[in-house]
Amino acid sequence: MELKAESAPVVEMRNIKKNFGAVRALRGIDLTVHHNEILGLLGDNAAGKSTLMKVLSGAYIPDEGEILLDGEKVHITDPMHARRLGIEMVYQDLALANNLDVTANVFLGREEVGSKLGPIGVLNSHHMEQETQRLLDRLKIDIPSVRLLVERLSGGQRQAVAIARATAFNSKVTIMDEPTAALSVAAISKVLDLVRELKAQGASIIIISHRLEDIYQVSDRMIILRQGRKVLDSPVEGEIDEFREKVVAYFIGARDDFAQKVVE
């Protein structure tokens, strides 16, 4: 380990391969996320974005390749293991329990226990509520009360809760799968503000989105996948039109010069 943990990338995935029967979903992908960086992950349907992120979040075990967290090699066995390692995922279909309040959702599966009665832990409710309020304030999330049931919240507020929950417990990297899908325009801009706020506070984020504008607005760098290969890895820069044109070209395979460059 020649690099110190601080200077090593948060996440480094090397030559990740994953096959499903005859389908070669990932054909040897490298992906790096640096500290306090927002990485946009782009690609058409079935390009391999979700598969790659499922490998990182522990849902799939790769056939080949290795994953390094802060420069240290890890073997992720399942989603809970990934979570313990500091890899948090915000799911597209909002993994929230609508019948519970905001606090209960933020602390779901990680409840603070005040005292124990045999195997039964007594909830430390007030402290969790206070912590949740603090978290919402810190991330400038506008929700009237942490005691509101999630089913009473708007789509944007729910997404904010899901994101807050993923970043609440000292996560190393947060993966957001289509965080703006099915949201109103106003809600989208709020979610993007939240992503920027998280970056300002030092978070490292991988964001998957179909909306190129979202990636353009918040990402530092982008990776484009096509048919299980990485076809572009470059900083996000230039005008939006130029950016869009370039991305679409790689998306549909009109341009495919990046991979060759690497090989050369």
Partner 1 sequence: MTFIQDVQKLFRQNIREYGIYIAFIAIIVFFTITTKGLFLSPRNIGNLLNATSYIAVLAVGMTLVIVIRHIDLSVGFLAGFLGAVAAIAMKYWGWSSYATIPFVLVLGIFAGLITGFLVAGMKIPAFVATLAGALVYRGLLQTVTMSTGTIIIADKFFNAIGNGFITNIPGIGEGYNWTTLLLGLIAIILFVRGEIVTRRKTQAYHFEVLPRSIFILKLGILSALIGAITWVLAGYQGLTWAEVVLLVVVFIYSFITTKTVTGRHIYAVGGNPEAAELSGISVKNITYLVFGSMGLLTAVSAIIYASWLRSATTIAGTLFELDAIAAAFVGGVAVAGGVGKVTGAVIGALVMASLTNGMNLMGIDISMQYIVRGLVLAAAVIFDVKTRNTAKK
Binding site for partner 1 (CB under 8 A): 79-80, 83, 91, 94-100, 104, 108-111, 113, 117, 120-123, 125-126, 129-130, 145, 147, 151-152
Q: 40-55: string of b/e by CB count within 10 Å (b at 16+)?
A: bbbbbeebbbbbbbbb
Nearer Cβ to partner 1, position 27 or 81?
81
CA angle 181, 185, 191 (to 5 degrees): 65
Q: How far is the CB of 163 from partner 1 (least distance, A)?
A: 14
Nearer Cβ to partner 1, position 117 or 254?
117
Q: How far is the CB of 121 from partner 1 (least distance, A)?
A: 4
Nearer Cβ to partner 1, position 94 or 236?
94
Question: In 3D, which of 121, 123, 122, 143 has the Cα closest to residue 132?
Answer: 143
Nearer Cβ to partner 1, position 144 or 238?
144
Nearer Cβ to partner 1, position 51 or 57?
57
The distance of Cα 202 from the centroid of its chain, to the nearest Å, equals 14
Q: How far is the CB of 21 from partner 1 (least distance, A)?
A: 25
Task: Assign 3-class secondary structure to 47-113.
Answer: CCHHHHHHHHCCCCCCCEEEEEECCEEECCCCHHHHHHHCEEEECCCCCCCCCCEHHHHHCCCCCCE
For residue 90, the one-letter residue type is V
Q: 127-157: string of b/e by CB count within 10 Å (b at 16+)?
A: ebbebbbebbeebebebeebeeebeebebbb
Residue 247 phi, psi (nearest 5): -60, -45
Q: How far is the CB of 88 from partner 1 (least distance, A)?
A: 11
Nearer Cβ to partner 1, position 11 or 106?
106
Q: How far is the CB of 10 from partner 1 (least distance, A)?
A: 22
Q: How far is the CB of 133 from partner 1 (least distance, A)?
A: 8
